[in-house]
Structure 1
Amino acid sequence: MRTTTLRRWAWIHKWSSLVCTVFMLLLCLTGLPLIFHHEIGHLLGTEIEAPEMARDAPRASLDRVLEVAVARHPGKQGMFVSQEPDDDRIWYVTLSDTPRADTGLKQVAVDARTAEALGEPSLDSGFIHLMYQLHVDLFAGLPGTLFLGAMGVLLLVAILSGVVLYGPFMRKLDFGTVRRQSSPRTRWLDLHNLLGIVTLVWALVVGLTGVINTLADPIIDLWRFDEVADMTAPYQGLPPPERLASLQRSVDAALAVEPGMAVRFIAFPGTTFSSPHHYGVFLRGDRPLTSRLVKPVLVDARTTQVTDSRDLPWYVTGLLVSQPLHFGDYGGMPMQILWAVLDIATIAVLGSGLYLWLRRRRTADDTVEIMAGAEARQ
């Protein structure tokens, strides 16, 4: 490769890395506890635990579950009802003052078998909440999310430019060589290159899925204005129902048209994932991959009749696949540990890159001072 071309790639790698390094370090540091958020919740005592019962214990009606949750916060209304993909023993009922509220939300965990309230997870406080907000939007909302997405793009540029430079750099060295007898800066450079190439695929996957996740709001809005608008076109101009029909019957109707699936979450009328006239019942599969994918079923909130059901478009499916992949949430504890090890290795790559730049600047400054002193003595 020509020297001029290499210098251009080196310039791209240096500045794309420098601009995003501090923010990527923040994302790696905050992402590490998020990989183990359930386990940390158990240790801190903030995770809601369901009592042990027979696997075939009868299920409580969702109407009763909702009633129990609302009784804890009179005056609020149902917004979402959800379950974890790997635990169907608890319903998490999110309550709000209005369907589109983003403040004053309350969540009640209700036993899916006995309809007893088990507790109220905190939605806006605690260690995991702090880490999550820093990781997702820097407490700056959508502008913060999009800013981190831009930093993610720079990370991808830095990774790809580093790959271009790695080949010529290692031409005279064996793969994985760390020149231990050389200067500290050379050893750090070799370690930086080694860890960078080892974590290459993981960093690309996590970086790309992270960028996709920052576009979640625009992607969901596009789906709503495109697919959902088409699915609810016959209801345009009609007044919303004054009284909502049975939640349980609505869910039963959705499951009847999609047998073999389970409920992932339910959106009440007027929320982001439904229309003013429908319950949005989002169903999932029962396998590791399909449990993260959902299929929306719209149920008339007045009659409990299914009005439409269709697969999600490719761009929403891509978002749903990228979210658990970003946090290593597909393969249980082994994958979580692997993700954590690679996360720590990436922190080392970012830190060593920053050290190399600062060390080079110091060396350059020392050289200037030495030359200036020599000129003064002449």
Structure 2
Amino acid sequence: MSTRRWAWVHKWSSLVCTLFMLLLCLTGLPLIFHEEIEHLSGTVQAPAMPPGTPDADLDRVAKAALERRPGEVIRYMFWEQDEHPDITYVSMASSIDAPPEENNAVLVDSRTARVLDEPKTNEGFMYVMLKLHTDMFAGLPGTLFLGFMGLLMVVAIVSGVVVYYPFMRRLKFGALRTGRSARIKWLDWHNLAGIVTVVWLGVVGLTGTINTLNRIVLGLWQMDQMAEMTAPFKHLPPVTKPAHLEQSFRAAREAVPDMTVRLVAFPGTMFSSPHHYTFFLRGNTPLTSRLLKPALVDASTGKLTDSRDMPWYVKTLFLSQPLHFGDYGGLPLKILWALLDLVAIVVLGSGLYLWLRKPKPVADNASARTGRAPAPGTGHRDVEEVPR
């Protein structure tokens, strides 16, 4: 394909996605530092206790949450030991099959089974930033639309590199023509910032697109591996009053002793079956801590029924999520991600400026002087963009 066609692809793929990419870059900045912002905003922390204080029986933790919100049921429990140590996050709703958006949170001290807080989960600055970044308050259609915009950004990056190569053969790499017009200066800054961040932009664009397939990927897992694991219990009556939570918890940990429990889905929820607790365990290395392994425990007996590694497509999703926000290397990597995000805003903003301030085509200027229409095939190339 000719350079002219690549330039056309770069122009229109960029124009279509630019405003949405600007939205994602701006909302992504606070999300990179969500842990730090939560701590500064006064998020409840578990009180200090002697090291090695044992955790309370999980049945006591569940009882404390149910007593705090009578008439509701527990759907999930999860733990974020790195971010919020010694706290059990209990997700509750009016019924097991209530809409996913209905989520009443109860924070319980994992060691004393004492309720610490009932935070609001659908309001506040970080909630708005997250919703704008993930689906623009439009649900699954909004998520998939942003995924398509991410793909367009990847197309814009690839076509931009193709267009940039022949252009820079006439100039030194990173040359800034400071003596030219304002538009030429912005063009040079746009090219330099874009080529410097091309790998990062590609990684963030691809991982962001993968993340938008979250519900689809997990839906495939439910129809595939999850259905196979729960097939022997398909015709049994659902467990309406699940018990043996602590016993089930221990059974899951004993089945995979080198992993720790991150989340438990109660019977009847979308990540379990009507007959099981599903425990999701994670590893203890930087890589395996990003992956989850399900362990199914019979909620009526507290005995393990199955545990398997998740398929490759779910692992790909899990690994892309922290990479998208720079969660692999602690605060230094987060700062680097934020700086690159700011550079990306410059790339997007300068590209929009260059399009809005585009000069008249050369052929139109010539026809105005001669009074004749341009000949077929004559250029509409921006004369200022040709390096001299």
On whether the aligned pair clears a TM of 0.5, the verdict is yes
* 2:28 matches 1:31: yes
Determine which of 169, 172, 184 is the counterpart of 1:171: 169
In structure 2, what is the equivalent of residue 335 of structure 1? 333
In structure 2, what is the equivalent of residue 123 of structure 1? 121
Please state how far the C-alpha of 1:42 moved relative to its aligned partner: 2.1
In structure 1, what is the equivalent of residue 5 of structure 2? 8
Please state how far the C-alpha of 1:41 moved relative to its aligned partner: 1.7
Q: Distance in 1 between the 2:37 and 2:241 partners?
A: 41
Please state how far the C-alpha of 1:218 moved relative to its aligned partner: 0.6
Determine which of 68, 71, 84 is the counterpart of 1:72: 68
Equivalent residues in 2 for 1:1-378 (5 A)?
A: 5-45=2-42, 47-86=43-82, 87-101=84-98, 102-360=100-358, 363-364=359-360
Deviation string, structure 1 residues 297-323 (Cα, Å, up to 9, x no partner):
000011111110000000000001111
Q: Is the 8 A contact 1:85 1:292 kept in 2?
A: no
Q: Which runs of 4+ in 1 moved over 4 A?
A: 365-375
Please state how far the C-alpha of 1:373 moved relative to its aligned partner: 11
Equivalences, count: 369
In structure 1, what is the equivalent of residue 376 of structure 2? none
Q: What's the secondary structure of 2:137's corresponding residue?
A: coil
Deviation string, structure 1 residues 330-366 (Cα, Å, up to 9, x no partner):
1110011011000000000000000000010xx3299
AA at the equivalent of 2:70:
P
**Using a 3 Å threshold, how does the CA distance of structure 1 residues 32 and 367 change in structure 2: closer, same or farther?**
farther
Q: Is the 8 A contact 1:9 1:164 kept in 2?
A: yes
AA at the equivalent of 2:25:
C
Deviates more, 1:363-372 or 1:129-138: 363-372
Please state how far the C-alpha of 1:104 moved relative to its aligned partner: 3.2
**Using a 3 Å threshold, how does the CA distance of structure 1 residues 256 and 175 change in structure 2: closer, same or farther?**
same
Q: Is the 8 A contact 1:95 1:107 kept in 2?
A: yes
**Using a 3 Å threshold, how does the CA distance of structure 1 residues 275 and 350 change in structure 2: closer, same or farther?**
same
**Using a 3 Å threshold, how does the CA distance of structure 1 residues 100 and 198 change in structure 2: closer, same or farther?**
farther
Q: What's the secondary structure of 2:251's corresponding residue?
A: helix
Give 5+ residue unaligned stretches, structure 1: none
Q: What's the secondary structure of 2:222's corresponding residue?
A: helix
Q: What's the secondary structure of 2:86's corresponding residue?
A: strand
Q: Is the 8 A contact 1:68 1:116 kept in 2?
A: yes
Q: Is the 8 A contact 2:74 2:93 kept in 1?
A: yes
Deviates more, 1:242-251 or 1:130-139: 242-251
Please state how far the C-alpha of 1:372 moved relative to its aligned partner: 7.1
Q: What's the secondary structure of 1:298's corresponding residue?
A: strand
Please state how far the C-alpha of 1:154 moved relative to its aligned partner: 0.2
Q: Distance in 1 between the 2:162 and 2:170 partners?
A: 16
Q: Distance in 2 between the 1:161 and 1:366 partners?
A: 24
Please state how far the C-alpha of 1:49 moved relative to its aligned partner: 1.4
Q: Distance in 1 between the 2:284 and 2:147 partners?
A: 32
Q: Is the 8 A contact 1:109 1:119 kept in 2?
A: yes
AA at the equivalent of 2:147:
G
Please state how far the C-alpha of 1:85 moved relative to its aligned partner: 4.9
TM-score by length of 1: 0.94
Q: What's the secondary structure of 2:67's corresponding residue?
A: helix
Deviation string, structure 1 residues 39-96 (Cα, Å, up to 9, x no partner):
1122222x22122222211111111111111111111111110011514411100001
Q: Is the 8 A contact 1:85 1:291 kept in 2?
A: no
Q: Is the 8 A contact 2:294 2:310 kept in 1?
A: yes
Percent identity for Structure 1 against Structure 2: 57
Please state how far the C-alpha of 1:174 moved relative to its aligned partner: 1.4
Please state how far the C-alpha of 1:99 moved relative to its aligned partner: 2.1
Q: What's the secondary structure of 1:84's corresponding residue?
A: coil
AA at the equivalent of 1:156:
V
Q: What's the secondary structure of 1:364's corresponding residue?
A: coil
Q: What's the secondary structure of 1:280's corresponding residue?
A: strand
Q: Is the 8 A contact 1:296 1:309 kept in 2?
A: yes
